Structure 1
Amino acid sequence: MIEESRRRAYLSAMQVDCWLPRLLLPFAAPSRPDCLAEVVAAPSLTPPRPASAAPAPSAVPAEPALPGEVLARLPLRRPAPVARAPLETPDSPPEVPVEPVARPVTPRFTLQLYRAGACLLLVELPTGEPFQRRDPSYLLLKDLLRAAGLPDSPQLLGEPLRWPLLNSRDFDQGPQAARAVIEDLLYAQRERGEQWACLWLLGLPALRYAAGADSQDYLRELDLAQLGRAWALPGLELLIDEPQRKAALWQAMQGVQARWRDDEPG
């Protein structure tokens, strides 16, 4: 079955002006009275007999029923009403949109472990690559170590840790996973016999994923339970971009450097 608008288009293309369906058609418009009047006034639809054929004497001609009379005797059936969704009333509670669950953003950073005297250093690599001897960030790190009374040529401990570890979305590499990996890395240093008087955390990624702290904890001492005491420092690149931070750093260093100087071999 087709809709009324398309049905009328087909009939118009076939040059059919008036027609009557045999059955009630779904989606059809009600019959128009003016069309039915034209059908009743039209001549009989019975085809004429040939001139040579004579009517039988005993045959009684029956008056053919006009389509209008047949249609009048049929019961009128209207299409079943289409069920519609009830309108929202003022008393009905508004629908609360369900927000899609957002996946945690995968952090991106590179950290390097160093050993300088009695201190262990977890340093953010600003460019993602190991320091070169003439890098401004590495030269600043050497200045910090000299000011702290530590060897200014720190010892590398392993390869840089680049996060995310894999270029894949099939594995959880969110913030919680990053923190677990960094904690395991530091615990592994303990198990290898590495001991340190203070752990330097240089840069926001080192501070965030090794100690669960943030930028408001810069220049503060933190207690990391089994990992001992840690000192939170701004990143080397941040100190270069904002040199006014160095004055506060030198002042804070005076209060914490006794922690590793006491552990230096005499």
Structure 2
Amino acid sequence: MNAELRRRAYLNAMQVASWLPRVELPFAAPSRPELLVQPEPVVESRPTPAPTPQVSASPVPARAEVPAAVTEQVRERPRIEVPKPGSSAAAREAEAASPVSEPAPRERAQPAPRFSLQLLRAGACAVLVELPTGEPFQSRDPAYLLLKDLLRAAGLPDSPQLIGEPVRWPLLVRGSMDQGPEAALEFVQSFIAARLEEQEPCSCLWLVGMPAIRFAGEADAHSYNRELQIEGLGAAWALPGLELLMEEPARKAELWQAMRRVRQRWLTSV
């Protein structure tokens, strides 16, 4: 809706049939000539009082005389002034043309992400891996067998130890607690830092899968196969998820090239 249509909608809502702008309005229709003629102000005429007939009657007690000035004020009626056809219309036009202030939209809370992570310990490395099914690994799960192959290729023990229970997000199904991405990031990093303090110092933290990379390393898919430095957690290495590696086997070659560069970090500390 342009400015002219909005202006006419405001005037129709106020039941204003005729109006004149004070200045030329952009994109406005041309004014009609008959509306530019200012009518003369109408003054209501005062009727002439009829003469009072004199009636002879019995003498009446004399009334108190009223001053002439007071009588003149009573007889004089107020004059009705008709406003000029530009004053009120201009005010209504200015009011209609002014933008209507709308309340600022409330910022919507971001939806809670959903993921399941498991923290493991394999030699000198800690592994934060995404659980593809949301449940702990079983010994014959294809994803777990692939993880064992990766650890074996990296020169680490292929039977990692569990550290704590899986981290499932959101924590609560219902409730008013903030469970958005920022809260998830803070919780995951605090959980890892607390668990690693209970273990021997690790040389590198593996982040396997996008939820682990995002909510522990504050990174995205562009960080696959790259090293990260996380404040409070130290050195980390970002890997694609186990399901993604099984669906796209071509990623394993790039992963192996990156592992050859990074594996020296934990092999030297063994």
1:197/1:94 CA distance change after superposition, 3 Å = same
Aligned residues of 2:163 and 2:195 also touching (Cα < 8 A): no
Residue aligning to 1:174: 180
Show the counterpart of 1:50.
none
Query: Which of residues 189, 192, 196 in structure 1 aligns to 2:198?
Result: 192
What letter corresponds to residue 219 of structure 1 in structure 2?
N
1:134 aligns with 2:153: no
Aligned to 1:80: none
Q: Residue 196 of structure 2 aligns to a residue in which SS?
A: helix
C-alpha distance in structure 2 between counterparts of 1:257 and 1:190, whole Å: 20
Q: Distance in 1 between matches of 2:95 and 2:195?
A: 66
Give SS of 1:222's match: strand
**CA separation in 1, counterparts of 2:102 and 2:206?**
48
Report deviation, 1:211: 1.2
Change (3 A) 1:102 1:261: same
Aligned residue number for residue 244 of structure 2? 238
Deviation at 1:95, TM superposition (A): 5.1
Give the TM-score of the pair, scaled to structure 1.
0.63
Q: State the TM-score, normalizing by the size of structure 2.
A: 0.63
Deviations 1:69-98 (A, max 9, x none): xxxxxxxxxxxxxxxxx5787843365574
Extract unaligned runs of 5+ from structure 1.
1-85
Aligned identity (percent) is 58
Partner in structure 2 of residue 57 of structure 1:
none
Once the two structures are TM-superposed, the CA of residue 191 in structure 1 deviates from its matched residue by 2.5
Aligned AA for 1:257? Answer: R
Structure 2 residue 254 is matched with structure 1 residue 248: yes
User: Displacement, 1:99?
Assistant: 3.1
Instruction: Give the counterpart letter for 2:111 in structure 1.
Output: V
Residues 18-37 of structure 1 show CA distances to partners (whole Å, capped at 9, x for unaligned) of xxxxxxxxxxxxxxxxxxxx
CA–CA separation in structure 2 for the residues paired with 1:89 and 1:226: 58
> Partners of 2:243 and 2:93 in 1: how far apart?
61
SS in 1 for 2:232: helix
After superposition, where does 1:137-148 map in structure 2 within 5 Å? 137-148=143-154
Q: 1:109 aligns with which of 108, 115, 128?
A: 115
> Structure 1: how far apart are the matches of 2:96 and 2:253?
64
**Aligned to 1:164, which of 147, 163, 170?**
170
Aligned-partner SS, 2:195: helix
Q: Name the amino acid aligned to 2:112.
A: T
Aligned residues: 180
Q: Which amino acid aligns with 2:152?
A: R
Over residues 210-261 of structure 1, what are the superposed CA-to-partner deviations in whole Å (9 max), with x where a residue is unaligned?
1111111111100113321000001101111111111100011010000000
Cα RMSD (Å) of the superposition? 2.0
| Deviation of the 1:100 alpha carbon | 3.7
For 1:110 and 1:142, how far apart are their aligned partners in 2?
A: 19
Q: Please tell me whether residue 119 in structure 1 is matched to residue 112 in structure 2.
A: no
Partners of 1:131 and 1:166 in 2: how far apart? 23
**Is residue 216 of structure 1 aligned with residue 198 of structure 2?**
no
Task: Name the CA shift for 1:88/1:249 in 2 (closer, same or farther; >3 Å).
Answer: farther
